[in-house]
Structure 1
Amino acid sequence: MDKVLSGKVAVVTGAAGAIGYGICEVLLENGAVVVATDLAGEKLDAFAQDLDALAPGQSTGIAMDVTSPEAVGSALDQVYAKYGRLDIVIHNAGIAYVSKIVDMDVARFQLLEKVNVDGTLVVLKEAGKRMIDKGVGGDIVVMSTKNVPSPSAGFGAYSATKAACHQLGRIASVEFAPHDIRVNMVAPDAVFSEGKYKSGLWDLVGQDRMKSRGMTETELHDYYRQRNLLKSSVTGRHVGNAVLYFVSRQSPTTGSTIPVDGGLPDATPR
């Protein structure tokens, strides 16, 4: 019996982490062939092995630097050469930096611009022009964040660059719609881990947050759970389920955002 994504081929950028694992897991369970991409190295190799254990022969790993048009173009061409199609692109790659504005290192800010903004443009451009050329439509989901509508102190670099990332997704939804390519956003918050994979963002900020609030890691997780309306612990699988809603085309929707945060009134998209 076919599953909802049977026959579809999906590329996930920045895959080798908590949110990426949750997304890949949900896509595989629903029948998609998954191409997990990330920077070359042992982390990606181990991640690809874990995905193959979930669904043998249904996934592969390809090294890709989202800031390089040549690298992204080459990786996508490999996907077409191997599978003959590309139906879904989940742009999850991104990095963070914690600093107050008065202390901010401009070079570090520019690195976030390179990955979070330039990387989004490159992925949208390279995937979009190939999908348009093939003429069979497709779905792109850009990973946004609750920090776009509701930024936090110390998160200026991340919030600003992810806001640009989000806006590029919205513009792509307008430009790609005539080609039946839908572009939507998912905005998670407080995703600490999925299975054995921890969030790179929380690896970066966790110690600072625990120290500033005088909390253990468990207490910090509970703090974020208690602050949302549903008192929910948000997981990578929850993010994957939101992605699935869009890429399975359960409604005629493009240019939209699903928050995956347990309910944060200040972060409701406006």
Structure 2
Amino acid sequence: CLRGLGILYVDHKNNNSDLPLTNKVALVTGAAGAIGYGVCRGLLEAGCYLAATDLAGKKLDDFVSDLKKIGSERVISVAIDVTDKESVSRGFESVVQTWGGIDIVVVNAGIPLIAFLKDMDLDAFRKLEKVNVEGALLTLAEAARLFILQGIGGDIIVISTKNVPSPGAGFGAYSATKAACHQLGRIASIELAQYGIRVNMIAPDGVFSEGKYKSGLWEQIGPDRMQARGLDEKGLQEYYRNRNLLKARVTGRHVANAV
């Protein structure tokens, strides 16, 4: 690993050394969504070289094309299925081969499900567990192995959810699997501290969009959540905006600032 030898493989020509994350290499899983776009854009604007990862396909290709308008020489597309150990390993390896190492990993991939416990389909629950728990574990483990090998520390950020400390009815599968993901992050922070590797969790509430990128979770669950409260589903974003102290609409950019 070139980064482990103290060699910076990336091209310095177009970098602004005043940016806080100049020449850092970041990998983001589940990138092609509202939170992912906000985080990716924020990392690019802070000076990072960025590997945007998601399932292979047009969605990821179009997503990376948009990001290249911000930093064309500092963005690559990497297809990763976080539920597949070999796919995760290959994805990390391709980034290392491109830029010599990785400094920041954002564990963002996740999927939702709305169902009351009494109606829960076990196969649907297992699908969430596969992505939200096993996917997080595989990503954390791969990042840990690489950062230990590099020997210069590193940063891992787990995108959790406010549903971990404050769940809601119908969110059983999502809350439980994200709670497991959150706990894996906490344990990783304990295990990896001795190597100078920092692990932190961010737990946003309702993030609906970032530019043209919409939250798949809220597009799926929003109408049902409002109907359950006897409210007009068109007022969803306003309802959640009024729940926070600043009365502000939370976007992917806010999550990026926390990262």
Give TM-score, length-normalised by structure 1.
0.88
Task: Work out the percentage of aligned pairs sharing the same amino acid.
Answer: 59
Question: How far does residue 94 in structure 1 lie from its aligned partner after superposition?
Answer: 0.3
CA–CA separation in structure 2 for the residues paired with 1:103 and 1:84: 48
Cα deviation for residue 211 of structure 1 reads: 3.5
Matched, 1:193 2:206: no
Q: CA RMSD in A?
A: 0.9
Distance 1:216 1:130 in 2: 45
What is the distance in 2 between the residues matched to 1:165 and 1:134?
25
* Equivalent position to 2:82, from 59, 62, 66: 66
Aligned residues: 242
TM-superposed deviation, 1:215: 1.0
Q: Is 2:217 the partner of 1:184? A: no
Deviation, structure 1 residue 74: 0.5
2:176 alignment counterpart: 160
The letter of the residue matching 1:81 is Q
Gaps of 5+ in 2: 1-15
Q: 1:50 maps to which residue?
A: 66
- Which amino acid is 2:221 matched to? V
Residues 223 and 233 in structure 2, CA contact (< 8 A), matched pair in contact too: no
Query: Which consecutive unaligned segments of at least 5 residues does structure 1 have?
Result: 244-270
Q: Please report how far the alpha carbon of residue 209 of structure 1 lies from its aligned counterpart in structure 2 after TM superposition.
A: 2.5
- How far apart are residue 216 of structure 1 and its match? 3.9
TM-score by length of 2: 0.92
CA distance in 1, matches of 2:50, 2:121: 37
1:92 aligned partner: 108
Corresponding letter in the other structure for 1:17: G
In structure 2, how many angstroms separate the alpha carbons of the residues matched to 1:193 and 1:83? Answer: 30
What is the CA–CA distance in structure 2 between the aligned matches of 1:214 and 1:226, rounded to whole Å?
Answer: 14
State how far apart, in whole Å, the 2-side matches of 1:203 and 1:71 are: 28
Q: Does 1:83 align with 2:92?
A: no
User: Greater shift after overlay, 144-153 or 202-211?
Assistant: 202-211
| Aligned counterparts of 1:115 and 1:91: Cα–Cα separation in 2 | 11
Task: Give distance in 1, aligned partners of 2:115 and 2:188.
Answer: 30
**After TM superposition, what 4+ stretches of structure 1 lie above 6 angstroms from structure 2?**
none
Q: CA deviation at 1:239?
A: 0.2
What displacement does 1:227 show?
1.5
Match of 1:233 in 2: 249
Measured against aligned partners, the alpha-carbon deviations of 1:121-160 in whole angstroms (never above 9, x if no partner) come to: 1001111111101111100000000000000000000000
Report matched runs for 1:124-139 at 5 Å: 124-139=140-155
Following the alignment from structure 2 to structure 1, what is the Cα–Cα distance between the partners of residues 110 and 180? 12
Give 1:97 shift.
0.3
Q: Does 1:222 align with 2:210?
A: no
Q: Partner of 2:122 in structure 1?
A: 106
